[in-house]
Amino acid sequence: MTIDTIIRRSIDLHVHIGPEIIPRKFIVPTLLAGQTGRIAGMALKNHFFSTVPFINEINKTKLMLIGSVVLNTFVGGLNPDAVYAASTLAKETFIVWFPTVSSKQFLKNSPWEIAPEWVKRKNFMARTSKEVDGIDIIDTNGKLKNEAIRVLKVIKKTGAILATGHISWKASLALVKAASAMGIKKIIVTHPIYQKIAMPVDVQKQLTRYGAIIEQCYSMYLIDKIPISTIASQIKAVGYQYCVISSDVGQAFSPAPSVALKRFSRLLIREGTSLEQLTTMLVKNPKRLIGI
């Protein structure tokens, strides 16, 4: 077993795809052309639109593509109908991300909803965080709002994968507990190490007891400059058997998913991660989440 063979079998559950106002490295046809044979599958994410229609007519390839919808304001926020609409087109399972750039947690830690430097268009009308009504899924007492509960009911009914997005770690805790109580078994805690989330490790460990899988992403090292030793330490503390490794790439400047995962794996190997542990986080756990 080598890193190369593991990557060819891996499923990356977090890849950004265009077209999007934020410049992206790939659209679906170029992603297929560049990654087929190098990786087994990818889940495609877009902050603005559901990606399920992107792949609906071309998902008959050797490269598994998984659609998703992100519950940002652009699709109506905590909108159960957006989840239902994605489910009507999805041929396989799909991911439902709770709010990312529209979350109250993200906006309170960012001056912009979409930073102007992310976008190359001169006529782009950037909105400051104060101009956007950020989405919070919990009330002032820390209880899950009814809108979030309605979304969970549709996730349960459709069999979709729940991902926590960029909500606060306290909101993630409430969300995962409620999802587990409803019988939702496919749950991903989205890059909890991200500075705008900063979920304590003990909370990550607590969430695994509700069936959640903890995501660690190469982008946290590549873009957010979190030391690889810190990422490896969190994996060790939580337990590799409760983790998935994703790339979270797709930015115009970032490497292709298979390359990103290969580089990430090599860095983690240097920190003491074994090939067997990598296989669990890159192959076995993603397959279990998508039901294959």
Q: Residue-wise pLDDT tens for the chain (292 aa)?
A: 899 999 999 999 999 999 999 999 999 999 999 999 999 999 999 999 999 998 876 756 689 999 999 999 999 999 999 999 999 999 889 999 999 999 999 999 999 999 888 897 888 899 999 999 999 999 999 999 999 999 999 999 999 999 999 999 999 999 999 999 999 999 999 999 999 999 999 999 999 999 999 999 999 999 999 999 999 999 999 999 999 999 999 999 999 999 999 999 999 999 999 999 999 999 999 999 999 8
Question: Going by C-beta distance under 8 Å and a sequence separation of 6 or more, which residues neighbour residue 109?
Answer: 195, 196
The pLDDT score that the predictor gives to residue 122 is: 81
Residues 284 and 6 sit within 8 Å (Cβ to Cβ):
no
Q: From residue 124, how far is each of 15, 72, 133 by CA, in Å?
A: 24, 19, 19
Residues 256 and 35 sit within 8 Å (Cβ to Cβ):
yes
Q: Which of 170, 162, 209 is nearest to 189 (CA)?
A: 162
Question: Going by C-beta distance under 8 Å and a sequence separation of 6 or more, which residues neighbour residue 150?
Answer: 78, 80
What are the residue ranges spanned by the domains of the chain?
3-290
The pLDDT score that the predictor gives to residue 56 is: 79
Residues 84 and 154 sit within 8 Å (Cβ to Cβ):
yes
Domain spanning 3-290 has what CATH number?
3.20.20.140
pTM of the predicted protein model: 0.96
